Structure 1
Amino acid sequence: MKGVFNKKIIVAAVAMAAAFSVNAQEKVLNLYSSRHYQTDEQLYSNFTKQTGIKINRIEAEDNPLLERLRNEGKNSPADVILMVDAARLWRAQIEGLFQPVKSKVLESRIPANLRGKDDGQGAEWFGFSTRGRIIVYNKANVKPEDVATYESLADPKNKGKVCTRSGSHPYMLSMTGSMIERNGDAATEKWAQGMVSNFARPPRGGDTDQIKGVGSGECGVAVANTYYYARLLRSTKPEDKELMSKVAFVWPNQATSGTHLNISGAGVAKNAPNREAAVKFLEYLASDEAQGYFANGNNEWPVVKSAVAANPTLEAMGKFKPENVSIATIGKNQIAAQKILDRVGYK
């Protein structure tokens, strides 16, 4: 009898340990992110407060992050992959790093053009915030009507004035991919040739560097994401205030296709060990509260219509017409975009 009793205790203990293991697993989320904004801390901590799910984070630039996921393969502990820009999300998608997610919450709140591939089993990734790709110009020597569209930057009247990031940067690849979708390959290549002819300097640096180049007069005009511009507008540093007094911006292509959008998006990793927690996290990112963090913390626009972006700086920048091109299609066009930019010498 004693042996039977001990056996029952052992079985119960094993069952309890297994149950504890399952419960512990449900309380953990492994997030692989190429976002690196300190303002996201509140976003993550609030999710943990609401759900009790602890977030373990791996943060890296997109290429090292994708390489890590490839090397880990089926043994990867990643539950959610969070990336910036359509080109990066598309790369992760074609490499099979996501799994489809069917969620009524996500499907009702995230617009269809801000989702990844869906073969009927659910989208592979979802966009959660957007940034507009604006044209910044020097108020002293450039007229806004001369730089009202992306296409106008390739016009001979802007020769020696244009500054941008590298042609191989995902932001440029996505913008070029959008132009391919709207204007076709031939017109896009002609535009790219015009851009190269109009460079004030070889492409280099980030978006903040482009804005500073415009302010210093080295560049007459540049392309930048709105959140970089808004960040400088909100700065209390005297040098930033002086810089922003010298520049202004236009919402490009308002009479035609609309302003190109950049996104942050995420999907559930293909081999996610904590899938339920991962889906909960994606649904949380689509909540009004989380959408507000994107707006107020990092000057990004919410993608959910009901969310309120209570950010005075964003509001002051005004309303604009965004382009209505599928983000997934823009990502798919990045290979053609890179070939075009390489052919014209867009370094």
Structure 2
Amino acid sequence: MLANLKSALFTMTALSVAAPVLAEEVNIYSYRQPELIKPLTDAFTAQTGIKVNVAYLKKGMIERMQAEGKRSPADLVFTVDISRLSAVVSQGLTQPTSSDILNANVPAEYRDPDGHWFGLTTRARIIYASKDRVADGEITTYEGFADPKWKGRICTRSGTHAYNIALTSAVIEHHGEEGAKAWLEGIKANLARKPQGNDRAQVKAIWAGECDVAIGNTYYMGKMLADDEQKEWADSVDVVFPTFENAGTHVNVSGVAMAKHAPNPEAALKMMEFLTSPGAQEVYAKANFEYPIAPGTEADPLVQSWGTFTADDVNLMTLAGNRPAALRITEEVDFDG
């Protein structure tokens, strides 16, 4: 994979003119891990001559930016999940931006209507199903997780994690708050153990025989298959793309936003345009086994091998608006208790 990334990045930069002397810079606050960003920041600097500084923040990004105020050095914010993107926006920490390039590269459903954030890649929330203990077609919908036949057979991470809150937000949109509450109660009754760990931990639990099915993001399969120890876990499950009844598969995004007090807005816009370009998106998506969203782009062959799906057409900003209700309902049923 690393060799492929280097080759792709070389192709991207070799076609550009010789890079000018470094004179500008862009400062990024990122929830994404440094190794996922470095190939792109290196390529951007090689192509434009603009230096990129990255501050990796595992948590506390909003609090830090609020404390810094107008003195904040942040030009761009990188994060994952629509709830996190919308949270940065709702706290007044971003500014609207737009360009013909951004609008051409990012479909309308994957960008904020007011221009505060732009999607870069998508991921689907899928089912990991035991190859030995779950028959083909035995579970095909998100609603199916609440079926009593799965009692003692489901593993999941915390119900209050952003990824699961986004999924519950989608359930609210399709079935209302009462329907979502009944769904969560049904899943809780079917759990094989208390919610814990990350998505990869659920696959390990299936491999160990602790449960038969779990909910997780697509890209974790790629990460596990690339890991010597975790490959055995990944090989024990099938990837199933569930749908909502009479709808599609739940997807979420990684995205970028320009900080409200960006000290280098022109350079930041150049980087946003670069990140949304087809070549950069394919590299970014392949580095993390996600789906690029620019028109005409394709996912990594490994990702394509898992199958195809039709994304649910619920607007991502609608999901963000449902987040408070989703969190409240999750706590009301004491899902993690």
Greater mean deviation of Cα atoms: 244-253 or 197-206: 244-253
Q: What is the identity, as a one-letter code, of the residue corresponding to 1:51?
A: T
- State the Cα deviation string for residues 243-278 of structure 1 (Å, max 9, x = none): 233211211117731111121011100010100111
CA distance in 2 between partners of 1:177 and 1:308 (Å): 28
State whether structure 2 residue 283 is matched by structure 1 residue 283: no
TM-score, length-normalised on structure 1?
0.87
Q: Structure 2 matches for 1:182-221, cutoff 5 A? A: 182-221=174-213
- RMSD, matched Cα: 1.8
Greater mean deviation of Cα atoms: 242-251 or 145-154: 242-251
SS in 1 for 2:35: coil
- State the Cα deviation string for residues 60-94 of structure 1 (Å, max 9, x = none): 12x31111111111111110011111111111111
- State the Cα deviation string for residues 82-114 of structure 1 (Å, max 9, x = none): 111111111111101110012111112211111
Q: Structure 2 matches for 1:139-288, cutoff 5 A? A: 139-235=131-227, 237=228, 239-253=229-243, 256-288=246-278
Q: What is the identity, as a one-letter code, of the residue corresponding to 1:187?
A: G
Q: Structure 2 matches for 1:64-213, cutoff 5 A? A: 64-118=60-114, 123-213=115-205
- Normalized per residue, which structure has more helix? 1
Instruction: Check the 8 A contact 2:155/2:214 in 1, yes or no.
Output: yes
Partner of 2:9: none
**Aligned CA distance change for structure 1 residues 25 and 75 (closer, same or farther; 3 Å):** farther
Instruction: Check the 8 A contact 1:164/1:222 in 2, yes or no.
Output: yes
- The ranges of structure 1 where at least 4 consecutive aligned residues each deviate by more than 3 angstroms after the TM superposition are 23-26
State whether structure 2 residue 312 is matched by structure 1 residue 320: no
SS in 1 for 2:230: helix
Q: How many residues align?
A: 317
Q: What is the identity, as a one-letter code, of the residue corresponding to 2:257?
A: G
Return 5+ residue gaps in structure 2 as ranges: 1-19
Partner of 2:42: 45
Instruction: Check the 8 A contact 2:21/2:49 in 1, yes or no.
Output: no
Shift of 1:25: 9.9
Larger Rg, first or second structure (1 or 2):
1
CA distance in 1 between partners of 2:234 and 2:277 (Å): 33
CA distance in 2 between partners of 1:25 and 1:77 (Å): 18
CA distance in 1 between partners of 2:326 and 2:173 (Å): 10
Q: What is the identity, as a one-letter code, of the residue corresponding to 1:251?
A: F
- State the Cα deviation string for residues 145-184 of structure 1 (Å, max 9, x = none): 2321111001101111111111111101111111112221
Shift of 1:116: 2.1
Q: Structure 2 matches for 1:13-28, cutoff 5 A? A: 27-28=24-25
Q: What's the % identity of the aligned pairs?
A: 40
Instruction: Check the 8 A contact 1:25/1:274 in 2, yes or no.
Output: no
Q: 1:301 aligns with which of 288, 291, 295?
A: 291
**Aligned CA distance change for structure 1 residues 67 and 26 (closer, same or farther; 3 Å):** farther
Return 5+ residue gaps in structure 1 as ranges: 1-22
Shift of 1:331: 1.5
State whether structure 2 residue 318 is matched by structure 1 residue 329: yes
SS in 2 for 1:160: coil
CA distance in 1 between partners of 2:319 and 2:244 (Å): 19
Instruction: Check the 8 A contact 2:29/2:77 in 1, yes or no.
Output: yes
Q: What is the identity, as a one-letter code, of the residue corresponding to 1:264?
A: S
Greater mean deviation of Cα atoms: 136-145 or 40-49: 136-145
- State the Cα deviation string for residues 106-125 of structure 1 (Å, max 9, x = none): 1122111111241xxxx100
Q: What is the identity, as a one-letter code, of the residue corresponding to 1:87?
A: S
CA distance in 2 between partners of 1:255 and 1:91 (Å): 29
SS in 2 for 1:145: coil
Q: What is the identity, as a one-letter code, of the residue corresponding to 1:54?
A: K
Greater mean deviation of Cα atoms: 144-153 or 284-293: 144-153
CA distance in 1 between partners of 2:310 and 2:34 (Å): 27
